[in-house]
Amino acid sequence: MSRRDLLVGTATSAAMTVAPFAAEAQTQARPRIVGLPSVVQVSFTVNGERRELELDTRTTLLDALREHLQMPGTKKGCDHGQCGACTVIVEGRRINSCLTLAVMHEGDSVTTIEGLGTADNLHPMQAAFVKHDSYQCGYCTPGQICSAVAVLHEIETGIPSLVSADLTAQPQPTVAELRERMSGNICRCGAYSNIMEAIGEVAGRQA
């Protein structure tokens, strides 16, 4: 039995697992757990394009983007939610794509660095990162930029932060606020000061 046959075989049983409360499934007393890979179908929108995938349940959103949709812009740093390199925007919110399963995003809308701008038509945040030299090796940059775009939206919508002195006031994009809000994105090259310059410029332009 080849690996491919195994996956095809488990796909059939997995389809039942996704909707286990069909009458057929309810007659099973106690599903037998076989410990074999389970394959499920999932569809979501990435950068405006609807994508359908058949994935091992274990596939993270990050791996679905990079390995299955061939979109390597989103980076795998620590793969444990500690570095922020994998940050993408899902349903308008930044998240760590390494700490969420692709199958949990049925119907969702995902924006990656590839969807923010192109080489010919940069997103303002991308242009500001270039202008201010906000990177050295560039590996954390896609995550930094996705996070920064979402941070400005979070400030606009009035979400407070740890450094907001008055919890009930409208937060402002001060350096202290931006630094605190960007703390989930680590840069090993230490480009932080230039990252702040770039985000500050875009925030100023938006204000």
Q: Which residues bind another protein (CB under 8 A)?
A: 14, 17-21, 30-31, 33, 35-38, 40, 56-58, 60, 79-81, 84, 87, 93-96, 99-101, 103-104, 106, 147, 150-151, 154, 158-162, 164, 167-168, 179-185
Angle (CA) 154-156-160 rounded to 5° is 55
Angle (CA) 43-153-133 rounded to 5° is 95
Select 21 or 70, whichever has its Cβ closest to another protein.
21
CB atoms within 10 A of CB 156: 14
Select 183 or 206, whichever has its Cβ closest to another protein.
183
**In this structure, are residues 61 and 88 in contact, taking their beta carbons and an 8 Å threshold?**
yes
Minimum Å distance from CB 46 to another protein? 18
Minimum Å distance from CB 117 to another protein? 21
Minimum Å distance from CB 87 to another protein? 6
Contacts of 4 (CB under 8 A, 6+ apart): none
Select 46 or 155, whichever has its Cβ closest to another protein.
155
Select 21 or 119, whichever has its Cβ closest to another protein.
21
Minimum Å distance from CB 38 to another protein? 5
- Rounded CA gap, 86 and 76, in Å? 6
Minimum Å distance from CB 185 to another protein? 8
Q: Which two tokens stand for residue 29?
A: 């007393």
Minimum Å distance from CB 141 to another protein? 16
Select 36 or 130, whichever has its Cβ closest to another protein.
36
Select 49 or 107, whichever has its Cβ closest to another protein.
107
Q: Which two tokens stand for residue 110?
A: 């995902």
CB burial of 170-198 (b: ≥16 within 10 Å; e: otherwise) equals ebebeeebbeebbeebbbeeebeebbbbb
